[in-house]
Amino acid sequence: MIIPWLKGLRFFHEAPLTWTLIAINLLFFFLTNGPQPEMSNLNKHEIKLAGRAYAMMHGKDVPADGSQLLLLGSRALRDNTFFARYRDFNPTQDTVALRSWQSKVDEFQRDLKKRPVDMFGLHGGEKHPGSWFTYQFMHSGAWHLLGNMIMLMIFGAALEALASSALLVFVYVAGGLFGAAFFLYLSPDTSAPMVGASASLSAVMAFYALFERKKRIKFFYFLSPSPGYWGDIYLPTLVVLPLYFVEDLAQYFSTAEEVGAAIAYTAHLGGALFGIALALTFRFLCRRSPRWEQILYASYSRSQPEAP
């Protein structure tokens, strides 16, 4: 295990905007992870019927194996095209059973829209424009929240000290918007809502790594509890890019479609691409005009060494 530590965790007076962003994420988490509305669940037989309809919808042979039908049905229930067209396909010749199944699917779809994660998350269905922003502050669970907030504290505070609070907000929000657009462009049919600060955080991390690419920063590594197998090491800032984004790229290309995937790799990659492009643009502007460098660097000296 190796994680970038930079200068570690900061107090509020050292990184007020970073702590404010963390507070907003925490507020959204506690407001949306309370008691959830009751959901109507489909039984295994009804999910298998969804799988049969989904196979017919795509002109594929209906799997004979029950477990494959369950997997296909679960995938169908995360695909907007299924909900838009499932009434055009009859997975059973029993008219009574067909109407009962269609009624259950209708009820399931209505209940999905009542969940906070569906109301504030982002997916390819009909959404309020505000969800492009609210999804950036929602999380699917405590561990999802904790991991993102630790990395936001580390990189957000570093960027806030490097440049300014305004730049941090811009990179966070705009990176989240770009990541969302990238996700919807490459995964337009998913009905599974995307939530989390990962796209925004990817933009912040990539921007910092490219903008300060010649620096050496502190990483914490842990191989085992034995002496000499854990501690701090100073590596080039650019190590952040392969350390975090090569896996996202590999996972995206190794997954046939992102419909129903637990992690929105395309959103991570979109946020990272935005951060990289913005950092390279700012570096170009700084080289062309010293005025840009004065504007961007608020309280940080470019010559200040990170490594001892």
Q: Is residue 307 part of a domain?
A: no
Q: Is residue 121 part of a domain?
A: no
d(CA 188, CA 183): 8
Contacts of 67 (CB under 8 A, 6+ apart): none
- CATH of residue 234's domain is 1.20.1540.10
Residue 200 φ/ψ, nearest 5 degrees: -65, -45
Look at residue 235 and tell me whether its pLDDT is greater than 70.
yes
Q: Is residue 53 part of a domain?
A: yes
Q: Is residue 24 part of a domain?
A: yes
Which pLDDT score, from 0 to 100, does residue 134 have? 92
**Which of these three, 114, 145, 176, is where a domain ends?**
114
175, 219: one domain: yes
d(CA 170, CA 114): 31
Q: How confident is the model at residue 294 (pLDDT cuts 50, 70, 90)?
A: low
Look at residue 126 and tell me whether its pLDDT is greater than 70.
no
For the chain, the domain total comes to 2
26, 104: one domain: no
Look at residue 64 and tell me whether its pLDDT is greater than 60.
yes
- For 33-59, how does the pLDDT look when each residue is reduced to its tens digit (9 = 90+)? 877 667 778 889 899 899 999 999 888
Which pLDDT score, from 0 to 100, does residue 214 have? 75
- For 7-16, how does the pLDDT look when each residue is reduced to its tens digit (9 = 90+)? 777 888 888 9
144, 50: one domain: no
Closest CA to 66 of 86, 51, 81: 51
**Which of these three, 63, 80, 114, is where a domain ends?**
114
Give the Cβ contact number of residue 139 at 10 Å: 24
Give the Cβ contact number of residue 98 at 10 Å: 16
State the pTM of this model: 0.82
d(CA 4, CA 15): 18
- For 177-223, how does the pLDDT look when each residue is reduced to its tens digit (9 = 90+)? 999 999 888 877 777 788 899 999 999 999 999 988 778 888 888 88
DSSP the chain: -EEE-TT----TTT-HHHHHHHHHHHHHHHHHSSSPPP-PPP-HHHHHHHHHHHHHHTT-PPPSSHHHHHHHHHHHTTBHHHHHHGGG--S-S-HHHHHHHHHHHHHHHHHHTTSHHHHHSB-SSS--TTHHHHGGG--SSHHHHHHHHHHHHHHHHHHHHHS-HHHHHHHHHHHHHHHHHHHHHH-TTB-SPB-SSHHHHHHHHHHHHHHTTT-EEEEEEES-SSTTSEEEEEEEGGGHHHHHHHHHHHHHHHSS--TT-SS-HHHHHHHHHHHHHHHHHHHHHHHH-HHHHHHH-SS--TT--S--
d(CA 17, CA 19): 5
191, 254: one domain: yes
d(CA 138, CA 135): 5
Q: Is residue 303 part of a domain?
A: no
Look at 105-109, 186-190, 241-245 and tell me which has the smallest mean pLDDT.
186-190
Q: Report the Cα–Cα distance between both ends of the chain, in Å, rounded.
A: 23
Look at residue 302 and tell me whether its pLDDT is greater than 50.
no
Please give the residue range of the domain that contains residue 61: 44-114
Q: Is residue 227 part of a domain?
A: yes
Q: Is residue 302 part of a domain?
A: no
Q: How far is CA 264 from the centre of its chain?
A: 5
27, 142: one domain: yes
Percent of the chain's residues with pLDDT above 90: 26
> Do residues 184 and 223 lie in contact, with contact meaning Cβ atoms separated by under 8 Å?
no
48, 30: one domain: no
143, 77: one domain: no
Tell me which amino acid residue 212 is.
Answer: E
Tell me which amino acid residue 263 is.
Answer: I
Residue 120 φ/ψ, nearest 5 degrees: -105, -15
